[in-house]
């Protein structure tokens, strides 16, 4: 993965793009099968202060638009001045632009503006310890379990296939802003903001 930051980024922030983007409103639990969706105008920035020990240095996704299902090229580099260890929280805030206003999307079924108490546990659940980290992490020797040592993490450009997914049907066209705050015991370690637009077909 990329940095611990990217570990989280990959697993949470990036997932956010395709899954959280499908956050459900309380009254809309229905899922739809989309033939395809496009994500346009992906951009990112660090949103913490200078004191945040974990920062993203580069991050790129292409093509623009990103088509789902389809191929995605991603690269990222991040660094952390401190080891990232359990409990590693990620607090996600998702806003969607509705009629010109930015509306906070609630947390429903673990998707939306959700606080994840310990991403380390989540990673251990997704990827059983002892098993090779998924590609392309394995190839580049990027770890996928806590603790992530302090230092620099780089994922050179790698190809991913984005499968077709069922999304809450209200996740149609729109502009989204996702902020993820990485923390440990209430102390902020890093903050990443991602914006993009989704167009469904
Ligand atoms: C994340 O949210 C929890 C509440 O769910 C809070 O206790 C914690 O301080 C937050 N973390 C950061 C770094 O703000």
The 10s digit of each residue's pLDDT in 144-164 is 999 999 999 999 999 988 888
- Residue indicated by tokens 């959700």: 114
Within 6 A (CB) of ligand 1 lie 89, 91, 115, 181, 183, 186, 188
First to last CA, the chain: 31
What is the Cα–Cα distance from 156 to 10, expressed in whole angstroms?
A: 14
Would you call 71 helix, strand, or coil by DSSP?
Answer: strand
What is the CB neighbour count within 10 angstroms for residue 141?
8
Give the distance (Å) from ligand 1 centre to CA of residue 1: 24
**pLDDT attached to residue 25:** 34
Taking the CA of residue 183 as reference, the ligand 1 atom at the shortest distance is 13
Q: Which residue has the tokens 């379990």?
A: 145
Q: Which of 49, 89, 112 is nearest to 182 (CA)?
A: 89
Q: Are strands 166-168 and 66-68 parallel, antiparallel or unpaired?
A: unpaired
**What is the pLDDT, as a whole number, of residue 167?**
66
In the chain, the domains with their CATH numbers are: 10-200 (2.70.220.10)
Strand partners, 174: 198
pTM: 0.81
* pLDDT for 28 beyond 60: no
141 alpha carbon – ligand 1 mean position (Å): 31
H or E segment and range at residue 120: helix 119-126
Res 68: pLDDT: 84
Q: Are strands 54-62 and 166-168 parallel, antiparallel or unpaired?
A: unpaired
In which residue are the tokens 């401190």 written?
82
> Does 97 score more than 80 pLDDT?
yes
């Amino acid at each position: 993965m990329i940095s611990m930051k990217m570990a989280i980024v990959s697993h949470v922030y990036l997932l956010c793009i395709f899954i959280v983007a499908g956050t459900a409103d309380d009254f809309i639990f229905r899922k739809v099968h989309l033939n395809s969706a496009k994500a346009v105008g992906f951009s990112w920035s660090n949103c913490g202060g200078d004191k945040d020990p974990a920062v993203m240095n580069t991050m790129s996704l292409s093509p623009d638009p990103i088509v789902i299902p389809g191929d995605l090229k991603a690269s990222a580099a991040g660094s952390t001045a401190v080891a990232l260890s359990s409990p590693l929280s990620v607090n996600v805030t998702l806003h969607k632009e509705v009629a010109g206003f930015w509306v906070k999307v609630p947390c429903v079924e673990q998707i939306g503006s959700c606080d994840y108490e310990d991403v380390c546990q989540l990673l251990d659940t997704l990827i059983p310890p002892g098993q090779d980290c998924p590609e392309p992490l394995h190839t580049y020797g990027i770890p996928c379990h806590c603790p992530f040592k302090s230092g620099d993490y780089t994922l050179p450009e790698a190809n991913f296939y984005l499968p077709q997914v069922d999304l809450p049907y209200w996740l149609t066209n729109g502009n989204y802003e996702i902020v993820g705050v990485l923390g440990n015991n209430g102390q902020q370690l890093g903050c990443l903001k991602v914006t993009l637009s989704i167009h469904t077909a």
